[in-house]
């Protein structure tokens, strides 16, 4: 092989390898968009929180973002849940994180669903199950917690499911 042919051959080979790497990278990026991200685990909070039923939470399909901190193994963690008044005196409590990318969720009162606005996934209001996947949205249900109405408060229990 002559010197100019060798140079031509090496140039074409490097282009092929480069293209292969780009296709592999693009493919793995696209695949990652189709899956829920793995949210790093934090020690599970076990306990109860008591939240007054007032303001927006007092209305059917009203909801409230509720945040609190807890201390475990020498560290402080924070947690945010979404409490929803489903109507008829029934309340639901969910992790306020879309299982897809971990972003906050909200109630869509018009369809009585919970919605993640990023990829339009709809979750069942009464269970947190995925109702409609949107455009490549969440595959897994929302984390749920046990609720109980105690007087004028809703008590949310963690760690029993």
Per CB under 6 A, residues contacting ligand FES are 98, 100-101, 103, 116, 118-119, 121, 134, 137-138
Nearest residue (CB) to ligand FES, 63 versus 147: 63
* Beta strands in the chain, from DSSP E residues, in sequence order: 47-52, 63-72, 75-87, 90-95, 106-108, 113-116, 121-124, 130-132, 144-150, 153-158
Q: Which candidate, 78, 77, 105, places its Cα nearest to that of 92?
A: 105
Nearest residue (CB) to ligand FES, 99 versus 147: 99
CB of 94 to ligand FES, least distance (A): 13
Query: Using CA atoms, how far apart are residues 37 and 50, in angstroms rounded to an integer?
Result: 30
DSSP state of 58: G
**DSSP-based three-state secondary structure for 131:** strand
Nearest residue (CB) to ligand FES, 51 versus 130: 130
Query: Using CA atoms, how far apart are residues 12 and 139, in angstroms rounded to an integer?
Result: 42
CB of 27 to ligand FES, least distance (A): 19
Please count the CA atoms within 13 angstroms of the CA of 109 that sit on its side-chain side. Answer: 9
Nearest residue (CB) to ligand FES, 53 versus 100: 100
CB of 126 to ligand FES, least distance (A): 19
Nearest residue (CB) to ligand FES, 33 versus 149: 33
């Amino acid at each position: 092989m002559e010197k100019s042919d060798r140079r031509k051959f090496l140039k074409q080979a490097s282009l092929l390898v480069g293209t292969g790497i780009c296709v592999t990278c693009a493919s793995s990026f696209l695949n990652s968009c189709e899956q829920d991200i793995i949210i790093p685990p934090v020690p599970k909070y076990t306990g109860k929180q008591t939240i007054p039923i007032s303001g927006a939470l007092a209305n059917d399909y009203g909801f409230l973002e509720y945040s609190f901190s807890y201390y475990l193994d020498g560290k402080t963690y924070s947690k945010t849940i979404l409490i929803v008044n489903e109507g008829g005196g029934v309340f639901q409590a969910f992790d306020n994180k879309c299982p897809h990318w971990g972003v906050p969720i909200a109630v869509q009162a018009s369809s009585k669903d919970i919605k993640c606005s990023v990829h339009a996934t709809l979750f069942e209001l009464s269970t947190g199950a995925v109702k409609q996947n949107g455009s490549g949205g969440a595959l897994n249900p929302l984390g749920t917690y046990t609720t109980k109405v105690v007087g004028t408060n809703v008590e949310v229990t963690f760690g029993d499911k």
